Structure 1
Amino acid sequence: MSSEPISLDTALASFTERWSPRIVTAVNDYDVRVAKVEGEHVWHAHDHTDEFFLVVDGELHIHLREPAGERTVVLPKGSVFTVPRGTEHKPYAPVPTALLLLEPTGTLTVGDRHDAVPAHVDATTGHALNGLSVPGGTLDA
């Protein structure tokens, strides 16, 4: 883990891939990840954890399948939203968008249950961010 401040702008500028989060730091047993997104993700659910989203730039829509039916929440820049564990959801970004995510270390981006994963979505537990240290060593993308 870095003992120096980490600029989110610098972290986001260090990679170009969409739907492929980078681990910026860790808090207890949680990864703090940043991601660039655009277009659709995949319907998925995390059975054992909530998923926290903060829109750093752009706009994110999250389609939700809830007991009362389907709905979509719209998150403009600066908004936060938590998808409750077990809730099927499908993020969609109509414009290039930057996110900060908070999830338990080892959480797969496509959840425990998911539709077929399209080629533009990276099914990962998070990638290294060049030059930053996290638990277990230095990250190299």
Structure 2
Amino acid sequence: MEITRSRDFTAERAWGAKDIANMNGITTRLHWTDQPYRWHVNDGEEVFVVLDGQVEMRYRSPEGERSQLLEVGDIFFASVGTEHIACPIGEARVLVVEKEGSV
């Protein structure tokens, strides 16, 4: 058993992570960042939960590029093939659940 206080977590670099769990090839990781990630497409589904701060999630759909401001408690689900980039506003802590080894 382990308790992690997400608001106290920091990393040495943007998108540094603490592994929380790996359950049958699905990872749950706590990330700290103050910089955008990069445009990418995961090779599986991804659940992205904002635990602290705000994150502008930009994504591309058939209708074009879109943006949504995510706040504490908001959850973004990226289906397979969803191109997206997470852009924190200041510092943010996020919980990411995805296939092990996903980008």
State the TM-score bracket (shorter-chain normalisation).
Answer: 0.7 to 0.9
Shift of 1:66: 0.6
Question: In 2, are the aligned partners of 1:11 and 1:24 still within 8 Å (CA)?
Answer: no
**What value does the CA root-mean-square deviation take over the aligned residues?**
1.8
Distance of 1:36 and 1:90 partners within structure 2: 15
Question: In 2, are the aligned partners of 1:20 and 1:35 still within 8 Å (CA)?
Answer: yes
Query: Does 2:45 align with 1:54?
Result: no
If the length of structure 1 is used for normalisation, what is the TM-score? 0.66
Query: Does 2:42 align with 1:12?
Result: no
Shift of 1:20: 2.2
In the alignment, which residue of structure 1 is the partner of 2:40?
44
Q: Structure 1: give runs of 5+ residues left out of the alignment.
A: 109-141
Distance of 2:35 and 2:16 partners within structure 1: 13
Distance of 2:7 and 2:70 partners within structure 1: 23
Distance of 2:101 and 2:9 partners within structure 1: 21
Q: Which moved more, 1:22-31 or 1:55-64?
A: 22-31
If the length of structure 2 is used for normalisation, what is the TM-score? 0.88
Which of structures 1 and 2 has the bigger CA Rg?
1
Distance of 1:55 and 1:64 partners within structure 2: 16
In the alignment, which residue of structure 2 is the partner of 1:23?
19
Question: In 1, are the aligned partners of 2:14 and 2:35 still within 8 Å (CA)?
Answer: no
Describe the superposition over 1:31-67 as per-residue Cα deviations: whole angstroms up to 9, x where unpaired.
1101111132211111x31111111100111111111
